[in-house]
Amino acid sequence: MRKPFIAGNWKLHKTIGEALDLAGALKQEVAGIDDIDIVIAPVYTSLAKVADVLVGSNISVAGQNCYPAASGAFTGEVSPTLLKDAGCRYCIVGHSERRQLFGETDAFINQKIKVLIEAGLRAIFCIGETLEERESDQMYEVLTTQVREGLKGISAEDMQHLVVAYEPVWAIGTGKTATDQEAEEAHAFIRGLLQGLYDEDLAEATRILYGGSVKPDNVDGLMAQQDIDGTLVGGASLKAADFARITRFKRG
Ligand code: PGA
């Protein structure tokens, strides 16, 4: 049985004060839920304070990105070591906004995964095709490359510290969710890729999250799918009640 994993990506939203209000409200809303991993990813400037407020709670904190080095002359970057120091247990890597807006490659994302697992963090590794790729029948090829290159050199043991997030780019922030079947098909395909790269046990144990316009009113259908083990939520994670409802998805 894979433990459900519900993560909120706050992206570039919330001042420190707003982040603390949201984290405090969420802490109350989800108190007592102990059979799901709940993670939120605030902006860097509020990470340490949010992590402080959540100490001893059932919510873990994630960075939204990192640079693949412990320290050095890398102006403007933040390392996995520093994220851990700020109270993070997780870090998102390879989000499509990083790939598209900042030109991040599979090889660079692969380096980040290695360095952050080495630093003792867990990776939320994002992959997903664009609308153009889906419509031109390149989706499976794109997912295969992202998985194969992103996980190059990652051992089976290290894979225990990683969850995959399938986020079709056309569904992110657009209000257009993949249908339950579209999402399930992609998830089953990704699980098959993991089986090919590792083995069946590892593929069965790895959690694969869906992301892209997940909301309180569509989470139940998505979470009822066999290969969907959780969600990575953007917009709907900015309201405590909505995100809390997503963590309370209906069990099939
Ligand atoms: P969204 O974002 O829920 O606002 O579509 C998801 C994500 O980018 O992780």
Catalytic residue among 97, 104, 167, 184: 167
pLDDT at position 252 is 66
* H or E element, residue 63: strand 59-63
pLDDT in tens, the chain (252 residues): 899 999 999 999 999 999 999 999 999 999 999 999 999 999 999 999 999 999 999 999 999 999 999 999 999 999 999 999 999 999 999 999 999 999 999 999 999 999 999 999 999 999 999 999 999 999 999 999 999 999 999 999 999 999 999 999 999 988 888 999 999 999 999 999 999 999 999 999 999 999 999 999 999 999 999 999 999 999 999 999 999 999 999 976
Phi, psi of 136 (to 5 degrees): -100, 25
Spacing, Cα 68 to ligand 1 middle (Å) = 24
Spacing, Cα 211 to ligand 1 middle (Å) = 6
Classify strands 37-41 and 90-93 as parallel, antiparallel or unpaired.
unpaired
Supply the CATH classification number for the domain 5-247: 3.20.20.70
* Token pair for 65: 């990105």
Whole-angstrom distance, CA of residue 29 vs CA of residue 96 = 29
* 161 noted as active-site residue: no
Identify the residue whose C-alpha is closest to ligand 1 atom 1. 234
* 95 noted as active-site residue: yes
Whole-angstrom distance, CA of residue 158 vs CA of residue 122 = 9
Whole-angstrom distance, CA of residue 187 vs CA of residue 204 = 12
Mutate to test the pocket of ligand 1, among 96, 167, 170, 219 (most ligand atoms within 8 A of CB): 167
CA pseudo-torsion sign 39, 43, 48, 53: negative
Tell me the pTM: 0.97
* H or E element, residue 110: helix 106-118
pLDDT at position 216 is 97
